[in-house]
Chains A and B, each alone.
Chain A
Amino acid sequence: MKNRTFFWFILPSLVTMVLFIALPIGSVVIQSLHIEHSAVLKEVKSCGPFGCKNQVQIDVEATAALKEEKPLGQFTGFGTYKNRNHLALNELTKAWGTSSTWEHYFSKVYNLPFYRALAFTLTYTFVVTPLVLLLGFCIALGVNSLPKWIKGPTIFVSLLPMIVTPLIGSLILFWMIDAKGIFGASLQWIFEDPNLSLKASSTLTWIMLIVYGVWHSAPFAFIVFYAGLQTVPTETIEAAMIDGASRWERTRYVILPHLVPLIVFISLIQLMDNFRVFEPIVGFSAQASATSLSWIIYNDLTGSEGSFFGSAGATSVLTILGVAVLLIPVLIRTWRDFSRKVV
């Protein structure tokens, strides 16, 4: 393709990408480098149904003048990134100086909101992604060997967890695992412990969220693998059978290598999706035990007493960086495959 033709061909998507991806990210970065103006405070008398009191209030006119002058707020550079609610560099250094053991140090780091969220986000990502791949592959193999007349209904039923909206799905499970719900009550009966509560323990909450994540995402891996299985060449399989390969050997040496590009694809999508884990935390009311980076952004933006745009921006930028770091190995692999094909 000529350069000129290529340019016109790519232009619409380029414009869309700049408008809807580059510009918003740019604005988030700029926002994250600013904090609000110093509030001009004045003490005034405020009265209500329960009496009067002298209280500090914001001098709206003086603050409005400041805002008029610099609508973005004060420039703080990486101040928001470094503060205690984000990377907490000072706190980390201090914890390092005052900790005698690694365990002590990590417990101090875990006490900081950003690292606590990061711990759950990473655990979730690295446990859910392989399990989704494995489970999706197994379901796909199973469904593929079913008789034809039962395949359609089975596929439909297997896809249901993905069709249910994440928030609704997690709310339904939330009530099922309640101490009086069907799962919660069964677990109490099995373990003969009337005080067992999945919602009360941090460990159990993490496990519950991970199980939910696998349940929700496995159908996606399943349907992609199932589509891939339809393209496995029958000649190769038959040849392997003639050579005396068992079912396991056929799966291991014929089917799996054939599906590698799909494994890369699903890992890519799942790593991104799982790193952004959010809905189940809200649905399960799990924020006491598990928070994620996305949850922190949500919390900053919907704080009922005004939003923290700088904070939300900083966490967003850190999330983007996190996704980039996670995807680098997969992207390098894709790039290598791509260059090999071109050459």
Chain B
Amino acid sequence: MFLKKVMVAGAFIMLGNTAMAGCGISSGNVNVLANDFPAIQAVTDAVKACAGNGVTVETNLTKDHKDIMVAALTANPAKYTSVITSNSTLVTLMNDGLVRSLDDLVAKHGAALNPSQMVTVDGKIMAVAFSANAQHLFSRTDVLKKAGISSIPATYEDVLAAAKAIKSAGLMDYPVALNTAPGWNLGEEFVNMYMGTGADFFKPGTAEVAINNAHGVATLNMLKSLVAYSNPDYLTYDSNATQAEWEAGNLALATLWGTRGAPILDDEGSSEAVTSSTVLSSAPTWGNNARPASTLWWDGISISANISDEDAEATFVAMMNGISSDVIKANQEKAVWLGKGYTPTSASAGVSATAAGGAAPYPMLPFMGTLHMAVGNEMSDFLQGSESAEQALTDIEAAYTASATEKGFLK
């Protein structure tokens, strides 16, 4: 039986290599919904190569994928056969039972995958991860050197000291940036920083929030100290804004997404002086804790529940083509790939170092997203100085409790 599976899988790999168009599928529909960044574009371009011979391939890459995925997959048949998910979006889809288990498909077509790529919940494979991502530190060594700092900051206390040195040397007024736009981005900064304390977000085994404590206060205070060195407009900063500021040479220290590494380091949109002195390093630790203050994310493939088995199989095979080692080899710098054929590059140094430093993955809890939004919406008053850290935490707790009750997580 096992031998047979291996032979079938082997046969598909052979087919995939010899017949370029077709990828070994003869019929079925493939329709992929995903976020929009270079690594995913590389994957979906390879998936599109499977079109033809009775196979249709469509893709929809949009940063608003999270907003439409639940409605699109609830329909029967689902509008998309596959969504490229991450830690948090997979949970949202699983909460409503919208993605199918991949055990059979992986057994049949997944021989080329690393075992670590499997995302299993309760023993069932629910997604196949293909790349890793995390927010980590970006530093400008030339500016640091001018301010008399020779090493890359390893802790947020060092970041603050370096920012102070840069400011007092008159090099930059606002050397620091984080993705601090209220909502999801600001929520993520809190989650990352709180992760660095090693404390839990919820009372174990329950949906009751547990951030209203000394760790929460310290987290808020650390974020406030950092934004004191940010441009006064920081409450409008999302990933695109911080990347643009970095490329314009206005920043010296920033916590940005790993996937922004490649676009920042390439020769477009920035000057030689900025790109040549930009160094990507691990997310800093803080408060004498060992764990980097960041969350590890993966991007992975999921297959919709409400589609025919034929389409599911066609989609899975096409997606395997999208994350094959050939694709990885041709796009080394675009992501930290988890599949075979990847050799780390300078653009991935930050994510690798953050993972190696022991950062924790973003919690795959059904109510994490609700807390994330409550934090992101209730925190800006504190950062602007109009309320105390304790009040902000009480507000977050109250907002979360009301929302989680509505979602049925709390009674």
Counting CB contacts under 8 A, is A142 at the interface?
no
| Stretch of B117-125, B252-260, B267-275, B285-293 that contacts chain A | B117-125
Residues of chain B with a CB closer than 8 A to A161's CB = none
Closest A residue to B395 by CB, please name it. A111
* 10 closest residue pairs by CB, A with B: A305-B369, A200-B232, A44-B122, A304-B66, A60-B97, A36-B408, A288-B380, A288-B235, A285-B236, A50-B361
Residues of chain A with a CB closer than 8 A to B95's CB = 39, 58, 60, 306
Q: Which of B87, B373, B411 has the most CB of A within 10 A?
A: B373
Closest A residue to B391 by CB, please name it. A111
- Contact across chains for A74 and B181 when beta carbons are under 8 A apart: no
Given contacts A36-B408, A49-B116, whether A58 and B402 have CB atoms under 8 Å apart is no
Q: How far is the CB of A14 from chain B (nearest CB, A)?
A: 31
Distance between Cα atoms of A179 and B233 in the complex (Å): 8
Residues of chain A with a CB closer than 8 A to B96's CB = 60
Given contacts A49-B298, A56-B365, list 11 more A-B pairs with CB under 8 A: A39-B409, A47-B120, A60-B97, A64-B97, A84-B399, A197-B231, A200-B234, A288-B182, A304-B89, A304-B184, A305-B66
- Contact across chains for B298 and A50 when beta carbons are under 8 A apart: yes
Distance between Cα atoms of A217 and B234 in the complex (Å): 30
- Contact across chains for A39 and B407 when beta carbons are under 8 A apart: yes
Distance between Cα atoms of A216 and B86 in the complex (Å): 40
Q: How far is the CB of A279 from chain B (nearest CB, A)?
A: 16
Closest A residue to B65 by CB, please name it. A304
- Contact across chains for B132 and A49 when beta carbons are under 8 A apart: yes
- Contact across chains for B67 and A304 when beta carbons are under 8 A apart: yes
Closest A residue to B236 by CB, please name it. A285
Counting CB contacts under 8 A, is A57 at the interface?
yes
Number of A-B contacts (CB under 8 A): 171
Given contacts A46-B364, A199-B236, A311-B403, whether A35 and B122 have CB atoms under 8 Å apart is no
Residues of chain A with a CB closer than 8 A to B94's CB = 57-58, 60
Counting CB contacts under 8 A, is A303 at the interface?
yes
Given contacts A48-B129, A200-B233, A307-B70, whether A84 and B398 have CB atoms under 8 Å apart is yes
Interface residues of A in 23-76 (CB under 8 A from B): 35-39, 41, 43-51, 53, 55-58, 60-61, 63-64, 73-74
- Contact across chains for A308 and B407 when beta carbons are under 8 A apart: yes
- Contact across chains for A305 and B395 when beta carbons are under 8 A apart: no
Counting CB contacts under 8 A, is A334 at the interface?
no
Count chain B residues whose beta carbon lies closer than 8 angstroms to a beta carbon of A.
71
- Contact across chains for A55 and B364 when beta carbons are under 8 A apart: yes
Q: How far is the CB of A211 from chain B (nearest CB, A)?
A: 18
Residues of chain B with a CB closer than 8 A to A85's CB = 399, 402-403
A interface footprint on B161-192 (CB within 8 Å = 1, 0 otherwise): 00000000000010000000111100000000
- Contact across chains for A305 and B361 when beta carbons are under 8 A apart: no
- Contact across chains for B361 and A45 when beta carbons are under 8 A apart: no
- Contact across chains for A306 and B402 when beta carbons are under 8 A apart: no
Counting CB contacts under 8 A, is B405 at the interface?
yes
- Contact across chains for B122 and A113 when beta carbons are under 8 A apart: no
Distance between Cα atoms of A197 and B233 in the complex (Å): 7
Q: How far is the CB of B400 from chain A (nearest CB, A)?
A: 10
Q: How far is the CB of B23 from chain A (nearest CB, A)?
A: 24
Residues of chain A with a CB closer than 8 A to B238's CB = 285
Distance between Cα atoms of A310 and B369 in the complex (Å): 17
Residues of chain A with a CB closer than 8 A to B406's CB = 35-36, 80, 83, 308, 310-311
Residues of chain A with a CB closer than 8 A to B391's CB = 111
Chain A interface size range: 35 or more
Q: How far is the CB of A51 from chain B (nearest CB, A)?
A: 7
Residues of chain B with a CB closer than 8 A to A287's CB = 182-183, 377
- Contact across chains for A46 and B120 when beta carbons are under 8 A apart: yes
Q: List 24 contacting pairs A-B, 8 Å CB cutoff, sorted by A.
A: A46-B119, A47-B119, A48-B361, A49-B119, A49-B298, A55-B363, A57-B94, A58-B95, A61-B97, A64-B97, A83-B405, A83-B406, A84-B398, A111-B381, A111-B391, A197-B233, A199-B232, A299-B377, A305-B88, A305-B372, A306-B95, A306-B370, A308-B403, A311-B406
- Contact across chains for A47 and B184 when beta carbons are under 8 A apart: no
Residues of chain A with a CB closer than 8 A to B70's CB = 306-307
Interface residues of B in 264-305 (CB under 8 A from A): 296, 298
Counting CB contacts under 8 A, is A230 at the interface?
no
From B92, B233, B355, contact of A306 by CB (8 A): B92
Counting CB contacts under 8 A, is A145 at the interface?
no
Q: Which of B94, B205, B368, B403 has the most CB of A within 10 A?
A: B403
Q: How far is the CB of B231 from chain A (nearest CB, A)?
A: 7
- Contact across chains for B92 and A55 when beta carbons are under 8 A apart: no
From A38, A47, A57, A299, contact of B411 by CB (8 A): A38
Q: How far is the CB of A108 from chain B (nearest CB, A)?
A: 10
Residues of chain B with a CB closer than 8 A to A111's CB = 381, 387, 391, 395
- Contact across chains for A306 and B381 when beta carbons are under 8 A apart: no
Counting CB contacts under 8 A, is B209 at the interface?
no
Counting CB contacts under 8 A, is A178 at the interface?
yes
